[in-house]
Chains A and B, each alone.
Chain A
């Protein structure tokens, strides 16, 4: 009895396997590198040797690539990342009331009350302060991304950096670099700028209550964690599986859904890896909507179709029954 959760994000693809008691037994974190299908297959490949398809009793997908992941693997539930993150966090610790989540390209704040979401916000127009930006700055300063947090902790006097916009923040860092500030102080300054930006973008008018969980890929960065602690004046907890919380939530939800409806999983098995998975896209000309339709094939049979508004390319449809 294993439940699989797949979180296909903009930067990383995470696969987790939970046992019947919902304990994490496998945790795979991969870079998406722009081709989600490939990374999903890569993740499954790693599990294939150890587990049999029949042992998987439920699959859930989440993240921005959740629909593609579901089409490829045959998922039982497809859930948005806000719900899955909160499910996972409240499962880990029922007392969590606030979740700060910073991923590759989006950041969210989720408020939980009595284990149920009561409010949330997600960055809308700006990606300043997310993982991609940190990645880029680390690269520019010639530091491994994993080192960024530790370096920030060494700083004594964080430099004040304009964090409103990612591009201008970079301009400001270059400027301060040219003035001769230390790398450590620059990085610590960057962390504070990102946290300030996050708080003013997402948390205006929201009550941040204990316990506060910090999850998503960026939670690996100790500098950001410390900046949150300083500015919010609260203890910030980074859960053990912070990187894959979305995937864990999806796996939990798949178990919940299958048990409620007393259904069997639709998981297609690890054999899908043997076939060739390809996609094609075209602009439908049948009506003025001009939808850009994407189709996914496995061994030349269509397994999924997206972005057609009228739904006529979908595999099963209700409209033929009228």
Chain B
């Protein structure tokens, strides 16, 4: 049995390590490119969101490369992503891409027993040591979190860098090295090593860079192709930014501490009091947080046709006025040209920069 899975940012790094550790054959589909998107859109419904098309493309490539089982996680049912698994299966089946499907849904949706049963299928009926599995899961969890910790540190330090581009280069080199490592321990060592290097990069602490928060739809935030490599661009521009929604955050809120999230979701915030699906309420709350933490602006990302985020988009003007914070909404679509969106991002950052100077010099 060979498994494959759709891409979601750096998740493939962790999945590959986990499969290696547990001796499961896994086929990592090629990273997202325009070709993936073109292949995926050929068979997808025209008006489905962008992540679906990319995922379909990934799975087609995975199956072509010899995989016979698809493993997918799904969560937060009220948004379309929750039904992706079933729809993808139907779409791929109809077009001659046959595979077995293992859908890992949340405990709330299918119960713990069913989840464990499905997860067990990944081993293909063979007995594996539970202790080893627990160890591997813990290790991978650690890899994800330490990589993200380093990434966050880099994103923040980027604005203060004296020689622009060095931090970004470290990040990419680190990810590349992890891809070539064989075990979880090696990967952890690599991350530790590079984290030390990050601290050595000289910073100019006198600088006062523009600080923004990235928020919005989860796939667009995590998958760099889904946001046309926005993070790279911000790093190149010397912007300090932070983003809360990452794979580690998702694992924590979905599997590790689902109760904490439920409690958070029941809190009212004055702008959007109820969960309307997807991560809409989170987006709203992040704008409020951004204001509290003195960020200069917020960039909201969403793929065309994302219902929850569109609702948030319509709340944004009110939030911008009431909280006095600048918000830019960027919508990504397969038909979009790059030029217009770069102009928008640049203009937004320029605007924040000039406003900052304006306040500083007081004229």
Q: Which residues of A contact B (CB under 8 A)?
A: 64, 79-83, 106, 114-120, 122, 124-125, 205, 287-290, 309-311, 317-319, 321-322
Contact A321 B343 (CB under 8 A): no
A258 to B354, CA, bound (A): 17
Partner of A322, one of B166, B342, B343: B166
Contact A290 B169 (CB under 8 A): no
How far does the Cβ of A294 sit from chain B's closest Cβ, in whole Å? 13
Partner of B165, one of A79, A81, A318: A318
When C-beta atoms are compared, the residue in chain A nearest to B32 turns out to be A288
Task: Note all chain A residues with C-beta closer than 8 A to B35.
Answer: 290
When C-beta atoms are compared, the residue in chain B nearest to A114 turns out to be B358
Binary per-residue interface labels of chain B (327-363) against chain A in the complex, 1 for a CB within 8 Å, 0 otherwise: 0000101011001101110110011001100100000
Task: Note all chain A residues with C-beta closer than 8 A to B355.
Answer: 116-118
Task: Note all chain B residues with C-beta closer than 8 A to A82.
Answer: 343-344, 346-347, 350-351
Whether a CB of chain A sits under 8 angstroms from the CB of B34 is yes
Contact B169 A318 (CB under 8 A): yes
How far does the Cβ of A267 sit from chain B's closest Cβ, in whole Å? 22
Partner of A321, one of B166, B232, B346: B166
Partner of B346, one of A80, A119, A205, A288: A80
Q: With A290-B33, A310-B172 in contact, is A80–B350 under 8 Å at CB?
A: yes
Q: Can you list 16 A-B contacts (CB < 8 A)? A: A79-B346, A82-B343, A83-B346, A83-B347, A115-B358, A116-B351, A120-B347, A122-B347, A124-B340, A125-B333, A287-B31, A288-B30, A318-B165, A318-B166, A322-B166, A322-B173
Contact A318 B164 (CB under 8 A): yes
Number of interface residues of B (CB under 8 A): 34
Whether a CB of chain A sits under 8 angstroms from the CB of B274 is no
Task: Note all chain A residues with C-beta closer than 8 A to B229.
Answer: 309
Contact B339 A322 (CB under 8 A): no
How far does the Cβ of B297 sit from chain A's closest Cβ, in whole Å? 11
Contact A321 B354 (CB under 8 A): no
Q: With A318-B163, A322-B166 in contact, is A80–B343 under 8 Å at CB?
A: yes
Contact B331 A124 (CB under 8 A): yes
A210 to B311, CA, bound (A): 31
When C-beta atoms are compared, the residue in chain A nearest to B229 turns out to be A309
A205 to B320, CA, bound (A): 11
Task: Note all chain A residues with C-beta closer than 8 A to B232.
Answer: 309
Task: Note all chain B residues with C-beta closer than 8 A to A322.
Answer: 166, 169-170, 173, 197
Contact A64 B344 (CB under 8 A): no
A308 to B119, CA, bound (A): 40
A290 to B336, CA, bound (A): 18
How far does the Cβ of B228 sit from chain A's closest Cβ, in whole Å? 10
Task: Note all chain B residues with C-beta closer than 8 A to A321.
Answer: 163, 166
Binary per-residue interface labels of chain B (228-258) against chain A in the complex, 1 for a CB within 8 Å, 0 otherwise: 0100100000000000000000000000000
Contact A116 B30 (CB under 8 A): no
A318 to B166, CA, bound (A): 6
Contact B166 A289 (CB under 8 A): no
How far does the Cβ of B174 sit from chain A's closest Cβ, in whole Å? 11
Contact B165 A290 (CB under 8 A): no
A321 to B197, CA, bound (A): 13
A192 to B340, CA, bound (A): 25
Task: Note all chain B residues with C-beta closer than 8 A to A288.
Answer: 30-31, 33
Contact B340 A122 (CB under 8 A): yes
